């Protein structure tokens, strides 16, 4: 009988077991065959690791060499692109005509081809970085080389004002997280410095954003009552500076920030205020392009001017017509209207100025007159007010309608007939309420950034060209939406269409301080 305590017996057994296990392992290690197998496996593993490392080193060296060759190729392509771009700007940078010459098109196509090759090279360099093993691309000198190459690529695109290419490269780059200092430049932001006189009390700078078809106020980018006022970093796009004058009035001053632009503006507010006239500050605006038959998109600068808020009405025009004593003049200045293609043309009023058709209202815009009659009214009205009035030029009308940011319509970049924006043929709801013309105060969304009304629809309008000819701009209740494009020229005719009216312009230098 074993009188050893139980816990001791267990410990002893355990220890004995351990000794047996230990003895067994030692016994196996003394087997030469097994030792040889383990040694061979270990040598094989180490050898494979060395081979893999050598292969990775070789791949890295080949990839790095390829990347450097691609960079050399990009250097040559960039020099070629810069030469073409410089030639294009020198020869055609100031061209505004719509038609592109054969020589200009060749340069444009050549630059596009070289830019495409640069895109390919950049993508291949980017791929070189991603194919490297992490242990190599994380090495400082390797990472720095790819960062420097990316930075140089972005700078080269920006030097050609190709912000689209720079943004595309930045977004696809695998090292862009190390180049965040360039993000704002590549995104196209700029700066804005605002100066003002003592007549300006305060300004608020509003960013504009699309809300459906319309550009509306979004967040404000700055506010100040001391000048000059600088916003050092501001995104590309349209803005509206709302001015509060020391006299208590409010005036809009739109600006557009081009990519990378350091814009400086000096605010100007009107010397007098009239409900019948809207002030359009002088300065540059994006002109042409779109459906313009004459001009490509370009920047044009105009002096300040005043333009009539609404079209001239039947009642306003009748005052002028009744002042005419010559029967021939009265006949030449008469409003003649066709209500449809199947109706005969009728005179709008009798010899005493009484309207002959109930569809013609005193507060409707006057139509069915010639461009000469419209110009004669402007001269007469100017004499009544003691100022010089005239028809707007095509460029003045376009700036008053689309502002400075190149928008297509007075309210923004799009048209949706269901939004009841303007009286045009496509607006079924509007046509039901006003089959021919609408009085002032209707279609309040048909308003430009300067608060000029009904430049999109209602009636088309007479303007003048630099050589004194008449054009017709804008849309009407009788025309489709395409006519509302602020660049669209619907006619240069001297005919008397029944959907064409007019408004007038007063130059700033021509006004007198009347209320």
285 has pLDDT over 60 = yes
Beta carbons of 181 and 154 less than 8 angstroms apart: no
What is the arithmetic mean of pLDDT over 183-202?
91
- Residue 381 to residue 374: CA distance in whole angstroms: 11
**Does residue 46 have a pLDDT over 80?**
no
Cβ 402 vs Cβ 370: under 8 Å: no
Query: Is the per-residue pLDDT at 510 higher than 80?
Result: no
The answer to whether 458 and 331 are in contact (CB under 8 A) is no
Mean pLDDT of the chain: 88
Would you say residue 325 lies in a domain? Answer: yes
Neighbours of 60 (CB within 10 A): 19
- List CB contacts of 231: < 8 A, sequence separation 6 or more: 191, 192, 193, 205, 221, 222
DSSP 426: T
Task: Establish if 22 belongs to a structural domain.
Answer: no
Residue 10 belongs to some domain of the structure: no
| pLDDT the model gives residue 52 | 67
* Domain hosting residue 222, numbered range: 189-269
Whether 304 maps to a domain, the answer reads no
Strand partners, 286: 299
pLDDT tens track for 348-391: 999 999 999 889 999 999 999 999 999 999 999 999 999 999 99
Alpha-carbon torsion angle 340, 346, 349, 350, nearest 10: -160
- Measured CA to CA in angstroms, residue 385 lies from 245, 373, 504 at distances of 26, 18, 13
pLDDT digits 0-9 by tens, 288-300? 998 999 999 999 9
Task: Mark which of 172, 187, 202 sits at the end of a domain.
Answer: 187
Question: Looking at the 3D structure of the chain, how many domains does it have?
Answer: 3
Q: How far apart are the C-alpha atoms of 374 and 378, rounded to whole Å?
A: 6
Q: What is the pLDDT of residue 188?
A: 82
Domain match, 55 and 202 both: no
**Among 181-185, 293-297, 398-402, whose mean pLDDT is lowest?**
181-185
152 and 107, same structural domain? yes
412 and 379 part of one domain:
yes
Question: Is residue 67 domain-shared with residue 173, that is, in the same domain?
Answer: yes
Q: In terms of domains, do 246 and 335 share one?
A: no
Which of residues 129, 157, 187 is at a domain's end?
A: 187
Encoded tokens for 185: 């430049």
Q: Report percent pLDDT > 90 for the chain.
A: 69
Question: What is the structure's pLDDT at 514?
Answer: 39
Beta strand segments in 250-342, E: 250-257, 262-266, 277-280, 283-287, 298-302, 305-308, 336-337
Q: Are residues 176 and 112 in the same domain?
A: yes
Is residue 151 domain-shared with residue 206, that is, in the same domain?
no
- Residue 513 — pLDDT band, cuts 50, 70, 90? very low
pLDDT band at residue 515 under the 50/70/90 scheme: very low
CA distance 358 to 370: 22
Of 409, 476, 396, 489, nearest to 447 (Cα)? 409
Q: What gap in Å lies between CA 384 and CA 366, rounded to an integer?
A: 19
Q: What is the mean pLDDT of residues 312-338?
A: 94
354 assigned to some structural domain: yes
Residues 458 and 336 in one domain: yes
Classify residue 298: in a domain, yes or no: no
Q: How confident is the model at residue 244 (pLDDT cuts 50, 70, 90)?
A: very high
pLDDT at 176 over 80: yes
For range 439-443, the mean pLDDT: 89
Backbone angles phi, psi at 5, to 5 degrees: -55, 150
**Backbone torsions φ then ψ of 248, nearest 5 degrees:** 105, 0
Average pLDDT for 14-35: 55
The confidence score (pLDDT) of residue 37 equals 75
Residues with Cβ within 8 Å of residue 454, at least 6 apart in sequence: 310, 311, 365, 422, 423, 438, 440, 443, 446
Residues 6 or more apart whose CB falls under 8 angstroms from that of 397 comprise 307, 455, 461, 463, 473, 474
| Alpha carbon distance 265, 203 (integer Å) | 13
pLDDT digits (tens, 9 = 90+) for 144-165: 999 999 999 999 999 999 999 9
Give yes or no: residues 182 and 197 share one domain: no
Q: Environment class of residue 109 by beta-carbon count within 10 Å: exposed (0-12), middle (13-18) or buried (19+)?
A: exposed
Choose between 100 and 23: higher pLDDT.
Answer: 100
User: Model pTM?
Assistant: 0.83
Give the domain CATH number at 227: 2.60.40
Question: In terms of domains, do 209 and 126 share one?
Answer: no
State the Cα–Cα distance between residues 311 and 473, nearest whole angstrom.
13
Q: Does residue 297 lie in a domain region?
A: no
pLDDT at 50 over 80: no
Sequence-ordered list of residues with C-beta below 8 angstroms from that of 228, at least 6 positions apart, any chain: 193, 194, 195, 196
Q: In this predicted model, which residue has the larger pLDDT, 421 or 31?
A: 421
Is 288 domain-assigned?
no
Q: pLDDT at position 12, please?
A: 47
Q: What is the pLDDT of residue 6?
A: 56
User: Domain check: are 339 and 488 in the same one?
Assistant: yes
Q: Which residues of 448-475 are buried (b: 16+ CB within 10 A; e: fewer)?
A: bbbebbbbbbbbbbbbbeeeeebbbbbb
* pLDDT at residue 194, as a whole number: 97
253 and 379 in a single domain? The answer is no
Of the two residues 224 and 4, the one the predictor is more confident about is: 224
pLDDT score at 58: 82
CATH code where residue 371 lies: 3.90.1580.10
Of 187, 210, 228, the domain-final residue: 187
Contact 303, 495 (CB under 8 A): no
CB-CB contact of 56 with 63 (8 Å): no
């Amino acid at each position: 009988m074993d009188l050893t305590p139980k816990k001791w017996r267990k410990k002893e057994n355990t220890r004995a077991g351990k000794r047996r296990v230990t003895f067994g392992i030692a016994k196996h290690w003394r087997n030469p065959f097994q030792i040889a197998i383990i040694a061979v496996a270990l040598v094989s593993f180490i050898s494979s690791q060395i081979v893999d490392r050598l292969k990775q080193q070789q791949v890295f060296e080949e990839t790095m060499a390829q990347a450097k060759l691609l960079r050399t190729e990009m250097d040559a392509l960039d020099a070629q692109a810069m030469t073409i771009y410089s030639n294009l700007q020198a020869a055609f940078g100031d061209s505004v005509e719509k038609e592109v010459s054969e020589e200009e098109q060749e340069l444009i196509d050549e630059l596009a081809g070289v830019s495409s090759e640069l895109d390919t090279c950049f993508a291949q360099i980017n791929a070189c970085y991603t194919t490297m093993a992490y242990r190599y691309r994380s090495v400082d000198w390797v990472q720095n080389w790819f960062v420097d190459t990316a930075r140089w690529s972005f700078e080269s695109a920006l030097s050609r004002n190709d912000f689209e290419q720079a943004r595309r490269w930045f977004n696809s780059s695998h090292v862009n997280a190390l180049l965040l200092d360039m993000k704002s430049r590549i995104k196209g932001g700029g700066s804005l410095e605002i100066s003002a006189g003592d007549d300006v009390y305060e300004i608020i700078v509003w960013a504009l954003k699309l809300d459906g078809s319309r550009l509306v106020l979004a967040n404000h980018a700055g506010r100040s009552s001391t000048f000059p006022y600088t916003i050092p970093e501001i995104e590309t796009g349209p803005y509206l500076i709302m001015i509060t004058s020391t006299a208590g009035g409010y005036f809009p001053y739109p600006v557009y920030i081009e990519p990378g632009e350091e814009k400086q503006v000096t605010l100007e507010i009107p010397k007098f205020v009239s409900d019948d006239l809207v002030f359009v500050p002088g300065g540059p605006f994006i002109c042409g392009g779109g459906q313009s038959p004459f001009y490509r998109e370009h920047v044009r600068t105009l002096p300040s001017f005043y333009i009539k808020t609404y079209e001239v009405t039947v009642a306003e025009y009748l005052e002028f017509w009744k002042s005419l004593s010559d029967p021939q003049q009265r006949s030449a200045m008469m409003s003649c209207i066709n209500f449809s293609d199947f109706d005969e043309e009728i005179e709008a009023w009798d010899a005493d100025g009484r309207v002959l058709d109930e569809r013609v209202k005193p507060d409707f815009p006057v139509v069915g007159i010639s461009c000469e009659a419209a110009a004669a009214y402007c001269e007469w009205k100017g004499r009544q007010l003691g100022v010089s009035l005239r028809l707007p030029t095509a460029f003045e009308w376009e700036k008053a309608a689309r502002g400075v940011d190149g928008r297509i319509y007075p309210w923004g970049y799009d048209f949706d007939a269901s939004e009841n924006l303007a009286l045009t043929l496509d607006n079924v709801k509007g046509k039901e309420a006003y089959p021919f013309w609408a009085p002032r105060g209707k279609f309040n969304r048909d308003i430009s950034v300067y608060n000029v009304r009904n430049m999109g629809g209602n009636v088309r309008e007479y303007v003048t060209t630099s050589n004194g000819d008449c054009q017709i701009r804008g849309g009407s209740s009788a025309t489709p939406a395409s006519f509302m494009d602020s660049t669209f020229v619907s006619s240069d005719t001297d005919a008397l269409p029944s959907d064409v009216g007019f408004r007038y312009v007063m130059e700033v230098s021509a006004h007198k301080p009347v209320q």
